[in-house]
Amino acid sequence: MSTLYFKNAIIATEEEVFPGGLVIEGEQVVSLVKGNVDVKADLVEDLNGRFLLPGLVDDHAHFNEPGRTHWEGYLTGSMAAAAGGITTVLEMPLNSTPPTINRAQLLRKRQVVKDQAVIDYAQWGGLVNNNLEDLADLHEDGVVGYKAFMSNSGVDFERIDDDLLYAGLQFSGQVGNVIGLHAENEYVTRFLGEKMRAAGRTDRASWYESRPPESELEAIRRACYWAEVAKGNLHIVHISIAEGMRAVAEAKKRGVRVTAETCPHYLTLDQDDFVRLGPVAKCAPPLRSRQEVDALWECVLAGMVDTIASDHSPCTWEEKAPGLTNIWKGWGGISGIQTMLPVLITEGVHKRGLPLTALARMTSSNPARIFGLYPQKGSLMPGADADFVVVDLNKEWTLAAEDLFYKNKHSPYIGFTFRGKVEQTYVRGKPVYKDGMIVVEPGYGKALRRSAQ
């Protein structure tokens, strides 16, 4: 096997940032090199002072395959991910049909997608209201976690009540897996939503007014409580409020095994943006106030956030369009896998002084750890998979719809000017994205399984 030396870079790991290089052999990292020094290798590539980060592990994305492939699919979804510096994606069990809630459906999904992806991937299973006895099979087959909803998901994926939350958490603790939880209070959000619709509200603000911060906070606190009682492993997905992050931090202090995720859109866009943008920026929990965006950044900068994930949740424009005149009728979900890293560099690194070490920790090392893929993924240590991204940290560029690899090219960030551009993405030593193009064949991406922790 030949060796390849990427020299003259600035390396950013979760621990440190330093001028140096990376030596790889075949699919794996051989060593990290400090300083701009010569190393004997079969091939040398000069990165001319570009930044080199561990490839991102996006722990939350919906690719809709099988069943809703016209929404995205593993091929276009993974191409967009690669263009965004993501080298491993953890794909959600819902918004595909049927949802991944038992062994047969997981195996069927794996069969359907096996020749599609250009980056590595693993699957989530689901915890719904009638599949407790399927969790063991799914664990055996290597799902990285179980997604569950406290509030209605809006699709053919049944929400759970506290009985099954308790049981699922207990199971996760026993086998060393994790429950990934959408935390919003079902009864209050439903009540408020019905009230608004009964009053004839169709405006955009009615969407976020029906899902207030308190309905998220109560659910987060309750979930942490049950994780404590059931001795489970809990990962709360897409937290949109600082008070929710603080609730998780307090639970951690009590010894609860809970981790917190947020998403780029909660750190960038606010309610006023939502009123301006409309259905393209509709999601749940909804976008919050500008004060909340700033407060959430404080939590990120204070080290309280475990992972940042895209929650890439695509659909056709036909699903979104009815929301232009009646926000209740537009599909909820933001397409964001390709823009996650540029958003975080622009809004975090440049505007708020987010250290690259923290960025690498939240977008790569931590998700790999929480979902049982570390240190094969999420690391640049010798022996790890050679998954990395080369970034021009200062390059300014403006997103156009035709830049997007999504099957449906809508995004709340079209026309947004970023500072920081993904130039190359490597998966297991091979370039998959380079200078605007995907440079591997579909199917290069490998299926991964959770190693229990």
Closest to Zn ion by CB, 279 or 429: 279
* Cα–Cα dist 209/286, whole Å: 9
Residue 59 interacting with Zn ion (CB under 5 A):
no
Nearer to Zn ion, 22 or 148 (CB): 148
Which of 90, 247 has the CB closer to Zn ion? Answer: 90
What is the distance between the alpha carbons of residues 349 and 435, in angstroms, rounded to a whole number?
22
Q: Six-digit token pair at 132? A: 């407790």
**Least distance between Zn ion and beta carbon 316 (Å):** 17
- Judged by beta carbon, residue 91 or residue 311, the one nearer Zn ion is 311
Which lies closer to Zn ion via its Cβ, residue 261 or residue 292? 261
**Closest residue to Zn ion in the complex (CB):** 311
What is the smallest separation between the CB atom of 9 and Zn ion, expressed in angstroms? 33
Q: Which of 14, 311, 319, 392 binds Zn ion (CB under 5 A)?
A: 311
How many binding residues for Zn ion (CB under 5 A)? 1
Interaction between residue 91 and Zn ion (CB under 5 A): no
Distance of CA 39 to the CA centre of its chain: 36
> Helices 242-253 and 290-301: crossing angle, nearest 10°?
30
Q: Which residue lies nearer to Zn ion by CB, 240 or 379?
A: 240
Q: Find the shortest distance in angstroms from Cβ 353 to Zn ion.
A: 29
Q: Contact 270/296 with Cβ under 8 angstroms?
A: no
| Rg value, the chain, Cα | 21
CA 430 to chain centre: 23
CB of 282 to Zn ion, least distance (A): 13
Determine the interface stretch with Zn ion among 81-89, 304-312, 320-328, 424-432 (rule: CB under 5 A). Answer: 304-312
CA dihedral for 169, 86, 50, 379, sign (positive or negative) = positive
3-state secondary structure of 204: helix
Burial of 398 (0-12, 13-18, 19+ CB in 10 A): exposed
Candidates 268-276, 308-316, 337-345, 391-399: pick the segment binding Zn ion (CB under 5 A). Answer: 308-316
d(CA 117, CA 446): 8
Q: Are 193 and 210 in contact (CB under 8 A)?
A: yes
Classify the C-alpha dihedral 248-251-255-257 as positive or negative.
negative
Applying CB under 5 A, which part among 101-109, 115-123, 310-318, 444-452 lies near Zn ion? Answer: 310-318
Structure tokens at 388: 């990395």
Nearest to Zn ion of 306, 311 (CB atom):
311
Interface region with Zn ion, contact rule CB under 5 A, candidates 74-82, 279-287, 306-314, 356-364: 306-314
With contacts defined by CB under 5 A, name the span among 173-181, 307-315, 352-360, 394-402 that binds Zn ion: 307-315
Which residues of the chain form contacts with Zn ion (CB under 5 A)?
311
